[in-house]
Structure 1
Amino acid sequence: MVYDRSYDSPASRGYWLSGTESMDYESYLTLLHRTLDYLDTLFENDKGGIPLQYQGAEVIRRTLQRVADYHGYPSVRTSFSPLPDHVFFRSTEEMQLPAIERASYEELTPEERDDARELRQREIGDQSKVVGNSGKTDSLLDNVRRKIQRIREYKHRLGPVVSNWLRRRLAKPVVSALSKQLYLDTQRSRNVIDSTNYIFYPLQYFMESRVTMRAPAFYNQLWLIEFLSRSLPPGYELVVKDHPQQLGALPLSHTRAISRYANAIDPTIPAREVIVQADAVVTLNNTVGYEAILYGKPVVSLGDAFYSHAGYTQDVTNIQTLQSELNRAVQSTGLTDEDVLSFAHGVLDSSYRGSWGNTCSENVELFVESVESYLETQ
């Protein structure tokens, strides 16, 4: 899959300044070959070294992986950890983490059990917490530098950059306000949460690698929501919640359709309030799935996530089995406390200190130490 931001739907927007640049296949091949040529130079003349990759920008990351494999060098890839100022490390393309898969409550020490309980309580006790947010904000100088760099990169074709800025500043807020009118208001949303048996599906942002590369079959989430609504067990409803920061990203036609197929609740309601009373949670690979596991809820996973395929979720590999998996989920009692603590320990054991992209000297030193520590275990 070529991720060049030129998908027809739902990336196509039906509002002012919504044009998107598409990349023709010849241009894409040229860019790919130039990238391969450059990456090849990293390994010429037996220079050695271990490539350090980030989960985002999947096309380039996978290209780098192929080059490293071709030259016979290992690689380390870092990705999101739900713990603030921490990351996950892997040496393969699979999202799964061995420490989560092998975690066993019976084998945990008393100290490890206490740490797992603390993590669980910390995560589910703070309703306002945003998973993975370290609280770090960029300085004004960092923002100015980034803008200047952006202008330098696109100085010969500033039109699309200016258009995109205007769309974010002018068009998106308008569509965001209109979209919110199509969702249930706060009071009606809470009535649904309090008075119905429901399965919860959190919308994911469609133009990101977690969807385009890790759950490509479900890129069109409008189709998925309709399919979910037709697969519900008797007596259950579907609750869908958009992310408040994503409002305005979807065309109004999609938002309107979602409200027909499901109870599209107020996006400003914290996801954790919805999780607590849900009978089951369906997700591609959203961090809502991680939160739901800590609450002990049945989680049906459709994509490739760090928490999937480890025994804590029902993993759908064939869409034809979705209906039966939903039935099994709502009939399930969920995870035991021991299961949840095992999972929490696996997350702790898989996380390393440091943040990708933070260039302050203290963080760089932490990050390097974490990489070295990880390599010693391989």
Structure 2
Amino acid sequence: MSQRIVFFTGRTQIKDCSKIAKALNEKRSVKTTLVTLGEYNKVRGEKENSFGRVKDILPDIDIDITEEQAEKDQNLLNHLSSIVGAQFLGRAIASDRYIGAMRPTGTWYKDHPLYWNRRRIHAFIARTAIKIFRYLKTTRPNAVFVESSSALYCVTRELCKSLGINSFYISSPRVWSNRIYTETENDFLWLECRDKYSLLSSRGIDTSLRKLSEKRLLEFRAKQSQPDYHSNSTSETASILDNLKVSEIVRYAKLWVRFINEPWRKNPRSYVSKFLSPVGLIKRYIQRKRSEEIYNDIVDIEPDLEKPYVVYFLHVQPEATVDFMAQRYMDQISTIRNISALLPPDIPLYVKEHNPMVGRRTSEFYAELFHIPNVVLVNHDIHSHIYIKSSEAVVTLTGTPGLESVLYGVPSIALGNVFYSVFDGVYDAENWEEVRAILSAIPDGLNKPTTDDAVRILASTYSASSPGVWPPDTEKSPELTRKTADVFYSMLG
């Protein structure tokens, strides 16, 4: 009997999924289907010529939603809530990255853009989710690969779970290479890893897994492993000549012509025209240049790493991991001010900028940061691991440094809702009173994570992941595509 796998994704991952589908086609027992949203994505999927079938499930949404239709949509949402949980559904919609600034693909009425509002958001989620639910309930595939982002995909994975269908998505891990992380839960990231961590604490770690984890820990510390973007500055103001190249001018011109002809460009929740217009580009360059000047005036190029200090790593913003997962602390200036006030007076708070954000914040942001007592803005060109290793503690909202610090044996304080908060060595603060109690114990009262804690973290993460790479590269490394396809195949049961 043939195994069936459904890929439910949009334009960003259609090409990557087609590579996997093509590799799976070599296994004659596998049939693949692409489920996507909108005619554009359907045509794009068909052009790949890798999927056995391509299905568009984008529902019809009227330009005006009547009271009667809104009531029907609400009933659908109530039905979804009974399946996935009302809190989960509400959280998924509230944290959606795309609804705020984008229209649903292919949905506009004549020349009028279909702007997002409460009724249309609910109509889109309710009608589309019910369509995919009915489709999966009827076809009963062996497994469903679901894109990792947006409310609709989160809800779909929960619907799969209710039907007893194995669903999974893949994201790139940050603490090792050549592995892909798969899980059947969503919204609460890395749930399987957390479960493995709990089991390993009571049952111990087998010899082979321990050796693998210990080896990776040594490599991590020796090579200061990070995602590439952490070590590469992407400031657009580094060289104005780069932006004046003919190729760049032509690229911007094409983008501008495209967007001024799109009917949805007038969407008041879309910032495309502001950022891509010629005037907008010039204004943005000037603003970033001024911001960089302020930043360079106040940054400490050679901070003292010998004396005790606590380090806070600024986050990219706007970003769901800040604005949703750490909502109470999303005003980072206020958060830094509070942390500084709660620290012992002889312990400064070092604040390191996120490399891609240099010049992207307002000059007022840096000026206000400069005037907070006991706060030092430190050089972003110094590797973050150097700050971590020498610090008394790392404070972050939801960032990777909070996990990396534990691997170095440095206590971590997590203010947001983050997957690694259950690990030993991480202080999960629920409110400012708890933060006060934690910070007042510095430098002598905080329990430091041990090497065994770090090994167990890596062991649990390895246990909850599979070898491979995502997205696969068929041109440079066809064997990696086959390896990833094998991982997908193993999900079919």
Under a length normalisation based on structure 2, what TM-score does the superposition of the two structures give? 0.61
Higher relative contact order (CA 8 A, sep 6+): 1
Equivalence for 1:282: 395
Paired-residue identity, %: 17
Structure 2 residue corresponding to 1:65, chosen from 157, 160, 182:
157
The Cα of 1:322 is off from its aligned counterpart by: 0.8
Equivalence for 1:216: 327
Question: What are structure 1's unaligned runs of at least 5 residues?
Answer: 8-20, 136-143
**Paired letter, 2:214:** R
Greater shift, 207-216 or 287-296, is seen at: 207-216
Equivalence for 1:25: 118
1:84 to 2:173 alignment:
no
Equivalence for 1:14: none
The Cα of 1:245 is off from its aligned counterpart by: 0.9
Give the Cα–Cα distance (whole angstroms) in 1 for the partners of residues 427 and 134 of structure 2: 43
Equivalence for 1:36: 129
Greater shift, 156-165 or 43-52, is seen at: 156-165
Aligned pairs for 1:1-378 (under 5 A) are: 1=94, 3=96, 23-57=116-150, 59-69=151-161, 71=163, 73-82=165-174, 83-93=176-186, 94-95=188-189, 96=191, 97=193, 98-104=195-201, 107-127=204-224, 129-131=225-227, 155-157=262-264, 161=272, 163-165=274-276, 170-183=282-295, 188-191=300-303, 193-261=304-372, 262-328=375-441, 330=443, 331-358=445-472, 360=474, 362-373=479-490
The Cα of 1:109 is off from its aligned counterpart by: 4.1
Give the Cα–Cα distance (whole angstroms) in 2 for the partners of residues 4 and 29 of structure 1: 15
CA shift digits 1:254-292 (9 cap, x unpaired): 232222232111222211111111110011221112221
Equivalence for 2:111: none
CA shift digits 1:198-242 (9 cap, x unpaired): 111111112333223432322222221122122213321111111
Give the Cα–Cα distance (whole angstroms) in 1 for the partners of residues 318 and 299 of structure 2: 31
Q: What SS does the aligned partner of 1:325 have?
A: helix
Greater shift, 237-246 or 347-356, is seen at: 347-356
The Cα of 1:342 is off from its aligned counterpart by: 2.0
Give the Cα–Cα distance (whole angstroms) in 1 for the partners of residues 319 and 148 of structure 2: 11
Equivalence for 1:18: none
Q: 1:103 to 1:123 in 2, by over 3 A?
A: same
Q: 1:184 to 1:158 in 2, by over 3 A?
A: closer
Give the Cα–Cα distance (whole angstroms) in 2 for the partners of residues 186 and 233 of structure 1: 23
Q: What SS does the aligned partner of 1:285 have?
A: coil
Give the Cα–Cα distance (whole angstroms) in 1 for the partners of residues 403 and 142 of structure 2: 34
Give the Cα–Cα distance (whole angstroms) in 2 for the partners of residues 91 and 119 of structure 1: 25
Q: 1:179 to 1:318 in 2, by over 3 A?
A: same
Instruction: Indicate if the aligned counterparts of 1:239 and 1:265 stay in contact, CA closer than 8 A.
Output: yes
Give the Cα–Cα distance (whole angstroms) in 2 for the partners of residues 74 and 106 of structure 1: 27
Q: 1:365 to 1:346 in 2, by over 3 A?
A: same
Q: 1:36 to 1:106 in 2, by over 3 A?
A: closer
The Cα of 1:339 is off from its aligned counterpart by: 1.8
Q: 1:324 to 1:119 in 2, by over 3 A?
A: same
Give the Cα–Cα distance (whole angstroms) in 1 for the partners of residues 340 and 330 of structure 2: 17
Question: What are structure 2's unaligned runs of at least 5 residues?
Answer: 1-93, 101-113, 232-250
> What is the RMSD of the two structures over their aligned residues, measured on CA atoms?
3.8
Give the Cα–Cα distance (whole angstroms) in 2 for the partners of residues 134 and 218 of structure 1: 22
**Paired letter, 1:342:** R
